[in-house]
């Protein structure tokens, strides 16, 4: 079982990066929690709280795939994302957890390769998602409306544990809600 692999998913605008950054800021550095760094074929963002990922171009990403350098990789929202094998090594430590910022579409494959993982689903109401996507200004209104047509429900693969966080209020509220749910897990190695 891979319960200590916490695979984070949610629709665009749900604030996954923000909630994960909040949790990271409130988790002692000495805690046996590893925040898996993603490899992405896009530049790093200058936005506050944005993920600091390994930036590569499309050709380099393809070479990593060809070399089987990734434990996980997927395409989403016109970009390619990968998690290197080394980012999951903490799973070999019986007391450690690994947080992976993943993709809803890749979840069935992740659950197949890491049976019993824990799914952390961060979401928000459709009105809040639309508002956040418009405020970000990364996409046209038409593209945002297409996103809003996608289903927001999530089917949790058989055998996986799950946590759901509704992030439609303050970041502190979502963060402390997540802390309470993580504390309830017998394997979560951090007391905050």
CA–CA dist 45, 73 (Å, integer) = 20
Q: What is the mean pLDDT of residues 104-110?
A: 95
Domain positions in the chain are 5-183
Q: What are residue 190's phi and psi, to 5 degrees?
A: -125, 135
What is the tens place of the pLDDT at every residue in 69-104? 999 999 987 889 999 999 999 888 777 899 999 999
CA–CA dist 117, 124 (Å, integer) = 23
Write down the CATH number for the domain with range 5-183.
Answer: 3.40.50.300
What is the reported pTM? Answer: 0.89
pLDDT of residue 104: 92
Q: What is the mean pLDDT of residues 160-189?
A: 92
pLDDT of residue 192: 62
Interstrand relation of 38-40 and 79-84 (parallel, antiparallel or unpaired)? antiparallel
Q: Residues 184-189: contacts with CB within 8 Å, 24+ apart?
A: 185/3, 185/118, 185/161, 187/3, 187/4, 187/97, 188/97, 189/31, 189/32, 189/33, 189/95, 189/96, 189/97
pLDDT of residue 72: 97
pLDDT of residue 92: 86
Per-residue confidence band for 43, with pLDDT thresholds at 50, 70 and 90: low
């Amino acid at each position: 079982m891979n319960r200590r692999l916490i695979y984070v998913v949610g629709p665009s605008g749900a604030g996954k990066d923000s909630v994960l950054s909040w949790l990271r800021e409130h988790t002692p550095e000495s805690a046996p929690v590893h925040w898996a760094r993603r490899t992405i074929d896009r530049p790093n963002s200058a936005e506050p709280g944005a993920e600091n990922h390994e930036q590569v171009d499309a050709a380099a990403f393809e070479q990593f795939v060809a070399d089987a350098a990734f434990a996980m990789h997927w395409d989403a929202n016109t970009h390619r994302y990968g998690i290197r094998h080394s980012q999951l090594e903490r799973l070999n430590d019986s007391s450690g957890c690994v947080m992976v910022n993943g993709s809803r579409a890749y979840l069935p494959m992740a659950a197949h390769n890491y049976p019993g993982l824990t799914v952390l689903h961060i979401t928000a109401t459709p009105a809040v998602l639309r508002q956040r996507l418009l405020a970000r200004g990364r996409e046209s209104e038409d593209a945002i409306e297409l996103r809003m047509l996608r289903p927001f429900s999530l089917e949790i693969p058989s055998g996986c544990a799950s946590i759901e966080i509704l992030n439609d209020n303050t970041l502190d509220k979502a963060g402390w809600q997540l802390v309470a749910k993580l504390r309830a897990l017998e394997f979560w190695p951090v007391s905050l």
